[in-house]
Amino acid sequence: MCDNGMVPAAYQYQPLRFENAIRLVHIHPARSRRAPILCDISHANTEARYEALSYAWGDPELSRRVILKEHSCTIRITESLHNALLHLRQADRVRVIWADGICIHQADNSERNHQVQLMARIYQCARRVIVWLGGNDPVTDYGFSVLQCIAECQNRSFTVGVIVRGVLKPMIEESSKAHWYQIA
C-alpha cells in the first residue's frame, strides 16, 4: 500500500533501447528478512557490474509483490524469486542482480525472445552467477550434507563403493520423494 492507502500501480516496462541492453535490479538493503523488498530497475549493457541469478521459477500462480521504490509501483514475481531476493538482500548495501523474472518483460514476446538469445552472454559477463536452489527443507539440507561428505571423503582414502552404498544410495532414495525430483 502507498502512504495514501492506495495500492501502487504495476510497473510499466520501458523498451530496451540498444542491441545488448538488459535491465538490472538494484535490491535495497534491509536488516530484517521480514522487511518488504524494495528495488529499482535500471537499463544497462552486459558490461555493467552485476550478479546473475539462476533459479527455478516455481509455480507462477504463487506470486508476490516487490516494491519499485524509484517508480512508486510494484511488480509481481514468483514466490521462488521472492524468496531468493529475501535471502540475497544485503543488510547494509544495494545489491545489483540480473534475474529473468524481473529483468525481462515477460509479456512482450519480442523482447523475451531477444533477451533469451542474450542469456548466455548475460551469464558470461556477470561478476558472479548465483544458483538459488530454494530455502531450507530436509531434502535440500540432506543433499548439501551429502555433497559436503563427498568433498571430505576425497581427502581420505574411501573407496567409491563405500561412498555409493553409504552416501549416494540413501540420498537418491530420499530425493526421489522430493517434489522437484518428481517433476523432472
Question: How does pLDDT run across 93-127, given as a tens digit for each residue?
Answer: 999 999 999 999 999 999 999 999 999 999 999 99
Q: How many residues does the chain have?
A: 184
The domain tally of the chain equals: 2
Interatomic CA distance for residues 100 and 178, integer angstroms: 25
- Residue 119, domain member (yes or no): yes
Please check whether residues 155 and 75 belong to one and the same domain.
no
Please check whether residues 87 and 172 belong to one and the same domain.
no
| pLDDT given at position 159 | 47
Arithmetic mean of pLDDT, 132-145:
72
Please check whether residues 109 and 155 belong to one and the same domain.
no
| pLDDT given at position 38 | 93
- Residue 1, domain member (yes or no): no
Query: Residue 87: what are its φ and ψ, rounded to 5°?
Result: -80, -30
- Tell me the three state secondary structure of residue 122: helix
| pLDDT given at position 6 | 53
Please check whether residues 56 and 116 belong to one and the same domain.
yes
Q: What is the mean pLDDT of the chain?
A: 80
Please check whether residues 145 and 72 belong to one and the same domain.
no
Tally of CB atoms within 10 A around 92:
7
Please check whether residues 43 and 108 belong to one and the same domain.
yes
Residues contacting 16, CB < 8 A, separation 6+:
22, 23, 43, 111
| pLDDT given at position 86 | 92
Query: Residue 31: what are its φ and ψ, rounded to 5°?
Result: -80, -20
Please check whether residues 45 and 106 belong to one and the same domain.
yes
Render pLDDT for 63-91 as a digit per residue (tens, 0 to 9).
788 888 776 788 889 988 999 999 899 99
The distance from CA 16 to its chain's CA centroid, rounded to whole angstroms, is 22
Exposed/middle/buried for 77, CB within 10 Å: 0-12, 13-18, 19+? Answer: buried
Render pLDDT for 16-70 as a digit per residue (tens, 0 to 9).
988 889 999 999 999 988 899 999 999 999 999 999 999 887 777 777 888 887 7
With 0.75 as the threshold, say if the pTM is over it. Answer: no
Please check whether residues 128 and 149 belong to one and the same domain.
no
Please check whether residues 45 and 104 belong to one and the same domain.
yes
Beta strand spans in 15-174 (E): 21-27, 38-45, 51-55, 63-68, 73-78, 95-98, 128-132
Flag whether pLDDT at 135 surpasses 80.
Answer: no
Please check whether residues 114 and 160 belong to one and the same domain.
no
* Closest by Cα among 168, 43, 169, 175 to 98: 43
- Residue 2, domain member (yes or no): no
Please check whether residues 90 and 174 belong to one and the same domain.
no
- Residue 78, domain member (yes or no): yes
Render pLDDT for 171-181 as a digit per residue (tens, 0 to 9).
555 555 544 44
| pLDDT given at position 157 | 52
Segments forming the whole domain that contains residue 54: 9-132
Flag whether pLDDT at 183 surpasses 50.
Answer: no
| pLDDT given at position 145 | 74
Please check whether residues 106 and 25 belong to one and the same domain.
yes
- Tell me the three state secondary structure of residue 132: strand
Buried b / exposed e along 163-179 (16+ C-beta atoms within 10 A):
beeebeeebeeebeebe
| pLDDT given at position 3 | 39
